[in-house]
Amino acid sequence: MSTPVDPRVEALARQQVAEDEARITGTSVRGQRRTSQTLSEVFRAFWHHPSPYILTTCLVTAVTARVVVGGGSWWELAIPAGLLAVMPVVEWLIHVCILHWRPRKVAGVTVDPLLSRKHREHHANPREIPLVFVPWQVELYLPLIIFGIAWLVMPGWPATLTMVSVVYLLLSGYEWTHYLLHSDYRPRSRWYRAVWRNHRLHHYKSEHYWFTVTTAGTADRLFGTNPDPSTVPTSPTVQRLHALDL
């Protein structure tokens, strides 16, 4: 038997989606016209936060190291192609397994990573821009993880540094896309509108579906989390993950 949804939650979801849809068309909600930002305005505002600087520093460092090391082989061209192909799956796995991690006790110790806690805050208030970014504390130790994985799976320094460079390029693209999705920039292209709506459904309809961020209908379709929105009831915990209080 399904749990009945609080009518107030359903009304809030409809209101949020209506307000977000209004940004696309420029129509008014509650008698007021929503503010719209141009792409250049959003881009300038993006650089008012620490995350872009941290990621850019890591990217430039990795690229510089790759140039200094030199050498390499033609097959390294397969690295960016392969990483780009698996990115939607990686996004999905990180979103489901880490960001939506439910706190649990292991040997008497509560395991609740910072990424998971910050993501719960993000769901509670999707319009709070600082919560859109990867936490800076995570970005400070992320280079060790990325470099360690690249060093283990790649056969030499050139390929290792190529992989690190591409990973940071893709991570920067992810950070920018996620920021753009939560800004007041109106979708113009069919691709961006699909990604935009996909992410709005995840935040305002149900946290159990639509996990990809930079694409729509890719890994979600693969893992069965891309249903027809009209068949999905509004989740009562979409803004309070796991029904936990912050």
Cα–Cα distance, 121 to 127 (Å, whole number): 11
Look at residue 197 and tell me if it is in a domain.
yes
| Per-residue pLDDT tens digits for 71-115 | 888 999 999 999 999 999 999 999 999 999 999 998 889 999 999
Coil vs helix vs strand at 186: coil
Provide the token pair at 184: 């007041």
Look at residue 200 and tell me if it is in a domain.
yes
3-state secondary structure 10-48: HHHHHHHHHHHHHHHHCCEECCEECCCECHHHHHHHHCC
Give pLDDT, residue 217: 86
Cα–Cα distance, 94 to 129 (Å, whole number): 20
Asked if residue 55 lies in contact with residue 62, where contact means CB atoms within 8 angstroms, the answer is no
* pTM for the model: 0.84
Single out the residue of 2, 6, 13 nearest to residue 203, CA to CA. 13
Q: Where are the beta strands (DSSP E) in the chain?
A: 28-29, 32-33, 104-106, 109-111
Look at residue 185 and tell me if it is in a domain.
yes
According to DSSP, the residues that pair with 33 across neighbouring strands are 28
Give pLDDT, residue 31: 40
Look at residue 176 and tell me if it is in a domain.
yes
Provide the token pair at 226: 């891309």
- Host domain of residue 16: 7-49+80-139+170-243
Look at residue 211 and tell me if it is in a domain.
yes
Radius of gyration of the chain (CA): 20
Look at residue 110 and tell me if it is in a domain.
yes
Pick the residue with more confidence: 11 or 172? 172
Look at residue 226 and tell me if it is in a domain.
yes
Look at residue 56 and tell me if it is in a domain.
no
What domain count does the chain have?
A: 1
